[in-house]
């Protein structure tokens, strides 16, 4: 059963989310799906992924970070002012709050004994950070995670500071999307500690699965290999999927799965079954 909900953060931001839950299995593990940069809960593979994991016995939550640019339309970037003010620290805070709300039984009627995170791209990195110091997270899966938030050249940073914003093109919608200098300052101020993916990965003490497409042109497979190198090999597995890219040949609007994405879903579901149910 799928239902919608909104909760408000300590920063007074609203988080739109969906719960896929079984009223007769509210103690079953919850998996939180965490979208990445220019992503959203209703993009492409997220609803399908939630339905597949729900069919395996999990309760699943998908949500939009408050400043991801998606508003009430749920599928259009109609809040570009918020998008421009987003930071990694804000996303980390919101994910941490969502984890706490779920663990405390304040989301729907869920009372899970275990929680897992599944993050894509930048959402994978934010999930690593959250998992590294949230004891309530019992299992972590990342699809095509970034290994570093500081991804800009010195020339780009100089222009960014001079203009006060940095522009990116959304190739799907052809929108020019601006990011304020707040994002750059957040990354530079916190990259050594709070937003340090290497340190966070080395602190992980839970089962960890990393999946990456071999032909990813957005986030190189080398970034997952780097994260794997930082990780505890007794707890971590890396799966590289041949001949597929950043979104595993899934597009938006969703028009069906494919053999490679089915493989990724099966690997992820099996991982969560072993790490959260047994």
pLDDT at res. 278: 76
Residue spans per domain, the chain: 2-148+194-277
Backbone angles phi, psi at 196, to 5 degrees: -90, 105
Beta bridge partners of 170: 175
CA angle 219, 34, 242 (to 5 degrees): 40
pLDDT at res. 26: 96
Instruction: Supply the pTM of this predicted model.
Output: 0.98
Fold exhibited by the domain 2-148+194-277: Rossmann fold (3.40.50)
Q: Residue 195 CA to chain centroid, in angstroms? A: 15
Cβ burial of 239 (10 Å; 0-12, 13-18, 19+) is middle
Query: Could you tell me if 201 and 108 are in contact, meaning their C-beta atoms sit under 8 angstroms apart?
Result: no
What single string gives the DSSP state of each residue in 188-250?
HHHTTTTT-HHHHHHH--S-EEEEEETT-SSS-HHHHHHHHHHS-TTTEEEEEETT--TTTT-
pLDDT at res. 61: 98
Q: 191 CB contacts (<8 Å, ≥6 apart)?
A: 149, 150
Compute the Cα dihedral for 23, 63, 66, 96 and give only its sign: positive
In the chain, which stretches have pLDDT less than 50?
Answer: none
């Amino acid at each position: 059963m799928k239902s919608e909900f909104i909760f408000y953060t300590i920063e007074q931001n609203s988080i739109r989310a969906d719960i896929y839950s079984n009223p007769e299995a509210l103690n079953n593990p919850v998996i939180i799906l965490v979208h990445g940069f220019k992503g959203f809960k209703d993009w492409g593979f997220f609803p399908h992924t939630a339905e597949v994991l729900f069919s395996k016995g999990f309760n699943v939550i998908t949500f939009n970070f408050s400043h991801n640019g998606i508003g009430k339309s749920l599928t259009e970037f109609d809040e570009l002012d918020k998008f421009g003010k987003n930071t990694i620290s804000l996303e980390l805070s919101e994910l941490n709050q969502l984890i706490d709300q779920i663990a405390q039984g304040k989301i729907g009627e869920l009372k899970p004994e275990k929680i897992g995170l599944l993050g894509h791209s930048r959402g994978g990195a934010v999930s690593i950070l959250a998992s590294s110091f949230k004891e309530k997270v019992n299992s972590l899966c990342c699809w095509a995670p970034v290994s570093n938030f500081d991804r800009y050249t010195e020339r780009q940073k100089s222009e960014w500071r001079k203009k006060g914003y940095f522009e990116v093109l959304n190739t799907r919608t052809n929108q020019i999307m601006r990011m304020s200098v707040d994002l750059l300052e957040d990354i530079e101020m916190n990259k050594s500690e709070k937003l340090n993916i290497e340190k966070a990965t080395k602190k992980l003490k839970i089962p960890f699965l990393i999946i990456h497409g071999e032909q990813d042109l957005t986030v190189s497979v080398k970034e997952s290999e780097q994260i794997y190198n930082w990780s505890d090999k007794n707890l971590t597995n890396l799966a590289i999927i041949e001949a597929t890219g950043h979104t595993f040949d899934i597009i938006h609007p969703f028009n069906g799965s494919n053999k490679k994405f089915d493989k990724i879903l099966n690997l992820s579901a099996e991982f969560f079954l072993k790490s959260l149910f047994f």
